[in-house]
Amino acid sequence: ERLLRDDLAAAVAARMDTSFADPSYTANAGINPASITYGAEAIAAQSFTDYSDIQIDVRAVMQKFIDAKNPLTSGVWIMSSSNALALAVKNSLGQAEFPQMSVNGAIFMGLPVIVSDYVTDYVVLVNASDIWFGDEGGIQIDMSMEASLQMVAGDDEGSTLNSITPTAASVV
């Protein structure tokens, strides 16, 4: 029961993480909202070959917040561990371009980094104070001591594994 609960909770968390930031995740009325990045204008990334390319991209992303008069007082980067690792590696001189970065996150350009492997090839900058979360009590798994059994007639060889469709189910 515990393994099933933990696996189900992990699957739900993975789905929530994926749908939270995936730019292609659209809204379904009455079911789920769109992702926080849905409809946002993407910043065309540079080649990421050196520090200056990354700074150009970072400035373009941060400028969007400045232009919208939305100060990054609670700004947070969300990225994959692959992108975090790319920012944490050392340059050809053996120096860290972003010394506060690690594969597990930390600080990038003065803002905290949340690493999620459900964010794929994009990097997201959000103001955490702009994110609201509604929860209806979390996940609950109940176990029942009752079961239903459906009896199906067998074939000529005695097998019950056939394609006969019963007209009524027998409940025991």
Confidence of residue 47 (pLDDT cuts 50, 70, 90): low
Quick: pLDDT tens for 108-134.
Answer: 999 999 998 888 888 889 888 888 777
The residue-averaged pLDDT of 142-150 equals 77
Say if residue 169's pLDDT is above 80.
no
Residue 50, phi then psi, degrees to nearest 5: -150, 175
pLDDT top residue among 108 and 154:
108
105 burial level (CB within 10 Å; 0-12, 13-18, 19+): buried
Instruction: Please state the pTM of the whole predicted model.
Output: 0.68
Confidence of residue 69 (pLDDT cuts 50, 70, 90): very high
The pLDDT score that the predictor gives to residue 162 is 53
The pLDDT score that the predictor gives to residue 111 is 93
The pLDDT score that the predictor gives to residue 164 is 52
The H or E element containing residue 110 is none
Say if residue 80's pLDDT is above 60.
yes
Give the span between the Cα atoms of 27 and 70, in whole angstroms.
24
Taking the mean position of all CA atoms in its chain, how far away is CA 121? 12
